[in-house]
Amino acid sequence: MEDVHELSRADARRIAVSAQLLAAQRPTDPLDTLRHLTLLQDDRTSTVAPNADLVLWSRLGRDYDVQDLRDAVDEQRVVDLFGMLRPVEDVTLYRAEMAEWPGAGELTDWQILRRDWVRANAECRDDILDLLRADGPLPMSELPDTCVVPWQSSGWTQDRNVSRMLDFLVASGEIAVAGRDGRHRLFDLASRVYPDEPAMPVAEARRVRDERRLCALGIARPQRAVTTHERDDVGLAGEPAVVAGLRGRWRVDPELLGRPFVGRAALLSPLDRLVFDRKRMADIFEFDYQLEMYKPAAQRRWGYFALPILWQDRLVGKLDATTDRTIGVLRVDAVHEDEPFTPEIAAAVDAEIEDLAAWLQVDLDRSD
């Protein structure tokens, strides 16, 4: 039976911060950083900067050149898979599950629904594949909607036939995102995008993904409900742990146990992996935060796209800021302090805000 590591919340926080490359020693290479983090959510919201760039800046600082990531995507060293930018070599970890789409064994109701909808619209599927084969890569706007059965949804995907067909063809490994033309994704046959390497067997691939996810997170729950393509749990990777004051077991990366910790200040994207799992964030960091961009302005406490503020191993506040490219300004409307900042914290946070403006190559306008 495995020994169970007994951790304090401070231990857990420092492990999580170190694993996410947010400690004092900054990484220097953007692609190596992505390989360690395993993914960057490709969200194009640019209230401050697109998420992938903001996450890399938080680690690398003003030396991060956004063109490095653009070039890696254009050269297909980095690919968009399920809305996440991933090192292209990681595609092999998903190919076996793609081949089994919509799933192996007894299918759930929603898997059956997706399978039957694609079958009912086989002609549309073939039309898209034929056009990509002849003229790809192409944006969604140039692909035909020849579906005979509309996609039914109670949400925003209602009647979005081509969008859903493309999602399912990506999930089944038939097509892939081949880059972008401005804000628009380009699609092509997967055989032209993904490396021609054998798929890793499903069980082995899941084990490797769990191990890599734990390496990136440092500490995580062994099991969580799955709500997106990207899991937040890590199975049996690492070693078991308990965290004082928290119920249940965790899994921890043993490589990070007992390491000295030196932190720093950092401004984080709301979609940053350190805070994206809000339950884990609340458990470990005891941090009150919501992304408020979907709330009416009058109901927002911290701002449309407030950036969580990290100091050492604590999340200590939120930065309400907006980049206005039309006039070349990073406008700071508020720095919300969960508790009054010490002079040391205030100076470190101010330095990060100045670094952010310098990296964005805009002037800094502080009305806070």
pLDDT at site 225? 61
Q: How many of the other CB atoms lie within 10 Å of CB of 209? A: 20
Q: CA nearest 60: which of 80, 74, 40?
A: 40
Q: Are residues 204 and 81 in the same domain?
A: yes
Domain boundary among 161, 192, 223: 192
Residue 340: which H helix or E strand, with range?
none
107 and 169 fall within a common domain: yes
Residues spanned by the domain of 79:
5-66+75-88+199-256
The 3-state DSSP class for residue 231 equals coil
pLDDT along the chain (368 residues), means of 10: 92 98 97 98 94 98 96 95 95 96 94 97 98 97 96 79 96 95 93 94 96 97 71 92 97 96 98 95 97 94 97 98 97 97 98 98 92
Same domain for 227 and 217: yes
The predicted structure's pLDDT at residue 231: 79
Q: Are 206 and 250 found together in one domain?
A: yes
Question: What pLDDT was estimated at residue 367?
Answer: 81
Cα distances (angstroms) measured from residue 14 to each of 211, 271, 274: 19, 19, 11
Q: Which residues pair with 251 in a beta bridge?
A: 220, 240
Q: How far apart are CA 184 and CA 349, in angstroms?
A: 35
pLDDT score for 155: 72
Q: Are residues 350 and 316 in the same domain?
A: yes
Do 286 and 355 belong together in one domain?
A: yes
- Structure token digits, residue 140: 């969604």
Question: For position 183, what pLDDT does the model report?
Answer: 85
Q: Are residues 38 and 99 in the same domain?
A: no
Total count of domains within the chain: 3
- Domain termination site, one of 163, 192, 221: 192
Q: Which of 256, 273, 290 is the last residue of a domain?
A: 256
Q: What is the pLDDT of residue 59?
A: 98
Q: Do both 117 and 168 map to the same domain?
A: yes
- The side-by-side arrangement of strands in the sheet containing 239-243 is 5-7, 239-243, 250-252, 219-220
- For residues 105 and 155, state if they share a domain: yes
Is residue 187 domain-shared with residue 280, that is, in the same domain? no
* Residue 130 and residue 150 in one domain: yes
Verify that 83 and 123 share a domain, yes or no: no
How confident is the model at residue 156, as a pLDDT?
A: 72
CATH of the domain at 112: 1.10.10.10
